[in-house]
Chain A
Amino acid sequence: MKDKQQEGRPKARRKKAKNAMVNKQIILVAYIFAGLFLALMVYIGKFIAFDSQDVITNSYNKRQDTFAKKVIRGNILSSDGKVLAESKVNEKGEVTRSYPYGNMYAHVVGFALRGKSGIESIANYNLLTSNANIFERIYNDLTEEKNIGDNIVTTLDSRLQKVAYDALGSRKGAVVVLEPDTGKILAMVSKPDFNPNEIDSIWDSITKEDASGNSTLLNRATQGLYPPGSTFKTLTTLQYIKEHKNLSHFSYECSGKTTVNGVVINCYNNSVHGKLDLQKALAKSCNGAFAKEGAKLNQNSFYRLANDFLFNQELPYQGAYKKSSYVLNNKSDKGEIPQTMIGQGKTQITPLHNALIFSTIANGGVMMKPYLVDRIENYNGDLVKKYSPKVAKKVISTQEAQVMTGLLKGVVDEGTASSLKGLNMNIAGKTGSAEFETGKAAHAWFVGFAPSDNPKVVVAVVVENVGTGSTYAVPIAKQIFAAYQKIEKE
């Protein structure tokens, strides 16, 4: 019996030691899981406290609609304090939405009945959230009164919007005005338009018309895809600059007509431009010169440049938009090259995107994120949240941007946009006449910025199915530049 005990003791001791060792491992396992859960809780806490703000405003979040039962939708204001959309409550407590400017902001501000569009859609969450005084809100909650939602102060300038809206007149097309150094959208017009005050009654007729191709509800500024026409020569020129150190080697003899890769390229109206350097070729918008020189460019590298400029990519824009497309590369059929180099072919772009490209050049190669909401205020006017300008990306070097600006200035000084010279302001830009169907008048384009030495405003204009950019788009841009100049002076 005694022997057995003595034998047993070391065994028991070993067992005890082993037990202690296993316990050490168990404690380690406990620490690992404690770490995992700590990380998980910090993550969830961060999400709820910060990240969720951007997530829940998503228009897919259906919960927003239930807020309308508790909150009176806030107002939408222009940057100069004009009311663009407001909620009116009648004696019975019924809320109606009113748009004092009628058709003028139809697409950009949008509507909130029959689905939502424009700023009514992007800022839906904030419009239906009240940041009024907390006691007032609790009082309203308890008495089952509706709270008053926050106001959205947009970046839109009512004076520029009016000028752009009137200048486009009854034609189909779009205008985008933005600030190159901030990305603020100052004006956005799309035509044909509609009266958002009557959206409920005109809905059926509008949707029927839209089905037959009129596309009244479509915001052409962000969702209209057009061939860029000669405005695209800006990108062709940039690729040329990237591939050639010495631009003075550029030389082309224009006879009004040439054949590149088996494709006949005519200059507009078969004009004969004669001997051209790069500056003149761009100023006169010589199709032959860009088709011929463009065909010598490295198409894969050009494809990358186009993608850097966000062709085929998502745009850094909150609202609804279409992606622009550029498909040409080394593998493409050689016959597609000449047309693509002058902005025809398969390339398609939205006016907002074209404005962004010129804004990047104006801003020294840095693309800013375009935005419409400047700040959120509660209904008393106290600041809730201010949105600051954000860089989207650096696309080209400052030097390339400078050279390009100089060349674009030539278009106004001695080229197709020379009617802009009358304004006492240095303007750089490019016209375009985009052919989209044989036998039909071209879409007229102008995209440009001013002042060219310190750009403050970018204007993009497209007028559908009318003719040349010089004749139809430049005069609209001229009125907007003039209006901008006037506002600056005030």
Chain B
Amino acid sequence: MVTIITSIANYLLIILGTIYTLFCFTVFKPSNQNRKEQILNRQIIYMLLFHFLCYLILLLRTENFKTIMFYGVQTCFIGIYLFLYHKAYKDASRLISNNMCFLLVISFIMLTRLSFDLAIKQFAIVVACTAICSVIPWILKKLKALSAFGILYGIAGLLLLGSVFVFGVTKYGATNWISVAGISLQPSEFVKILFVFFVASMLAYSNSFRQVVITTVIAGIHVLVLVLEKDLGAALIFFMVYLIMLFAATGNYFYFFGGMVGGSLAAFLAYKLFPHVQVRVVAWQNPWPLIDNKGYQITQSLFAIGTGGWFGMGLAQGMPNSVPVVETDFIFSAIVEELGGILGFCVILICVSCFVLFLDVAMRSKKMFPKLLSLGFGAVYIFQVFLSIGGVTKFIPSTGVTLPLVSYGGSSVLSTLIIFQVIQGLYIAVEQAKALESQQMEVTNEG
């Protein structure tokens, strides 16, 4: 009986996930506001059904009755958040909220399956962070002068990054954590945000050559410090994000391609200089002869993904725990192993849908600062998704970055929630400006 239910549920999950993902892209089509609302409401229904089926399978497979409680609390959290948030912010993007919740739901499901204790810990962190971050759109509205701090963001970021040299702890060969009052934090996750603010405010102010040089020097120091901390994934993200923002602000192709060439040379130099970079590259080129040591992680990940196939082994039916650090960097492998490659593609497309929304905000913003800000956050987000999923599938060498909102980890989820809420704030501003404009139009028409 259990097998019948879980087998059917497994296929239903794929259907629900696929329809949800399709809605992420078709929601832009109808010009009718009611139809849009209808699609967004359906997304929530599909998400809740997905959530319910997964926990049903987990309950039947693990017979851990605590999951019922846990499921209930999660449903309350999602319901309350979606209801209250959009009551408070009438103009906020519902699609961003839906996607954020869906990715969190997938995270809760996978973490419950991988380690119940970690899942509870992560859930508590997410609830606290969501509550705190929800005020960000309101703060953004009140604070008009955010674009004025320019270089101060950069200095603050560098100080925060440098803190690991004082309070640093080494994890997985990289010294990029600090431990303050018993809480471990990864400063680079938060400096990412300061960095985007820094670049956006510098280049929004002016894109004269002088300004570009100053910005580039400070951005370069960020990247260098990250390389020194051996946090290569973050270094790569900062570098790419800076190039993209610089290119968008100046429209100068020379900066972009020159930067790409420079970056490639730097990457080559890093490969020659640092043994830990060589290890990653060697394990990427051909991990099979190194299956016992350097290639262990990536080959285990490929076993998980390959064995899962398109339809997955079913929740709690695979062996995702055989992949090292599966809860954090390698969570995508666990998703494909148990939920299947089709749902893996859904996760990718939902992330892409978030990115499209971020860029939509950037395109519609009238002022340079919010434009660059949302573009920068979009780039930070999507590039991290690319590094994470590309790394665990052996498409690119592994850089050890988390999958935002899905992976276990407080710093990662908090910084991503901040980014999502800043975007919501900018989205609200765009929507209100649009409403104001149409009002003015009406006024002029009447006049």
Contacts from A to B (Cβ < 8 Å): 18-19, 21-27, 29-30, 33-34, 36-37, 39-41, 43-45, 47-49, 51-53, 55-56, 58, 60-63, 66, 141-142, 144, 314
B291 touches A60 (CB 8 A): yes
Chain A residues near B310 (CB-CB < 8 A): 48-49
B303 touches A47 (CB 8 A): no
A44 to B332, alpha carbons, bound, how many Å? 12
**Residue B19 lies at the interface, judged by CB distance under 8 Å to chain A:** no
Closest to A314 in B: B289
A240 to B309, alpha carbons, bound, how many Å? 53
Closest to B4 in A: A142
Q: When A142-B3, A142-B7, A144-B3 are in contact, do A48 and B248 touch as well, CB less than 8 Å?
A: no
Chain A residues near B214 (CB-CB < 8 A): none
Q: When A62-B322, A63-B318 are in contact, do A29 and B379 touch as well, CB less than 8 Å?
A: yes
List 9 other contacts, CB 8 Å, given A40-B386, A44-B344. Answer: A22-B248, A26-B363, A33-B355, A47-B305, A48-B305, A48-B341, A51-B306, A63-B319, A63-B322
Chain B residues near A52 (CB-CB < 8 A): 302, 305-307, 309
Q: How large is the interface on B (under 10, 10 to 19, 20 to 34, 35 or more residues)?
A: 35 or more
**Residue B220 lies at the interface, judged by CB distance under 8 Å to chain A:** no
Chain A residues near B249 (CB-CB < 8 A): 22
**Residue B371 lies at the interface, judged by CB distance under 8 Å to chain A:** yes
Q: Which of B76-84, B110-118, B388-396 contacts A (4 or more CB under 8 A)?
A: B388-396
B248 touches A29 (CB 8 A): yes
User: B237 CB to closest chain A CB, in angstroms?
Assistant: 13
User: B3 CB to closest chain A CB, in angstroms?
Assistant: 5
B363 touches A55 (CB 8 A): no
A19 touches B366 (CB 8 A): yes
Which residues of B127-166 have CB atoms within 8 Å of chain A's CB atoms? none
9 A-B pairs with least C-beta separation: A52-B306, A56-B306, A61-B303, A25-B248, A48-B341, A55-B306, A63-B307, A56-B307, A43-B395
Interface string of B229-261 (1 = CB under 8 A from A): 000000000000000100111010000000000
A27 to B318, alpha carbons, bound, how many Å? 41
**Residue B362 lies at the interface, judged by CB distance under 8 Å to chain A:** yes
Q: When A44-B341, A142-B4 are in contact, do A37 and B366 touch as well, CB less than 8 Å?
A: no
A142 to B5, alpha carbons, bound, how many Å? 9
User: A41 CB to closest chain B CB, in angstroms?
Assistant: 6
User: B184 CB to closest chain A CB, in angstroms?
Assistant: 31
A52 to B309, alpha carbons, bound, how many Å? 8
**Residue B382 lies at the interface, judged by CB distance under 8 Å to chain A:** yes
Among candidates A39, A45, A48, A62, residue contacting B306 with C-beta atoms closer than 8 Å: A48
A141 touches B251 (CB 8 A): no
**Residue B120 lies at the interface, judged by CB distance under 8 Å to chain A:** no
User: B333 CB to closest chain A CB, in angstroms?
Assistant: 11
B348 touches A40 (CB 8 A): yes
User: B203 CB to closest chain A CB, in angstroms?
Assistant: 10
Closest to A36 in B: B386
Chain A residues near B336 (CB-CB < 8 A): 48
B305 touches A26 (CB 8 A): no
A61 touches B307 (CB 8 A): yes
A37 touches B344 (CB 8 A): no
A56 touches B375 (CB 8 A): no
Interface centre among A18, A39, A48, by most chain B C-beta atoms within 10 angstroms, is: A48
A41 touches B307 (CB 8 A): no
Q: When A44-B393, A63-B307 are in contact, do A55 and B302 touch as well, CB less than 8 Å?
A: yes
User: B308 CB to closest chain A CB, in angstroms?
Assistant: 8
Interface string of B310-322 (1 = CB under 8 A from A): 1001000011001
Chain A residues near B366 (CB-CB < 8 A): 19
Chain A residues near B386 (CB-CB < 8 A): 33, 36-37, 40
Chain B residues near A58 (CB-CB < 8 A): 288, 291, 299, 303
A37 touches B348 (CB 8 A): yes
Interface centre among A44, A56, A61, by most chain B C-beta atoms within 10 angstroms, is: A44
Chain B residues near A142 (CB-CB < 8 A): 3-4, 7
**Residue B345 lies at the interface, judged by CB distance under 8 Å to chain A:** yes
Chain A residues near B7 (CB-CB < 8 A): 141-142
B362 touches A26 (CB 8 A): yes
Interface centre among A21, A30, A56, by most chain B C-beta atoms within 10 angstroms, is: A30
A-B contact pairs, 29 of them (CB 8 A): A21-B251, A22-B248, A22-B249, A22-B251, A24-B251, A26-B362, A26-B375, A29-B375, A30-B356, A33-B352, A33-B386, A37-B386, A40-B395, A41-B345, A44-B345, A48-B306, A49-B310, A52-B305, A52-B309, A55-B303, A58-B288, A58-B299, A61-B306, A62-B322, A63-B313, A63-B322, A66-B319, A142-B7, A144-B3
Chain B residues near A23 (CB-CB < 8 A): 363
**Residue B368 lies at the interface, judged by CB distance under 8 Å to chain A:** yes
User: A107 CB to closest chain B CB, in angstroms?
Assistant: 23
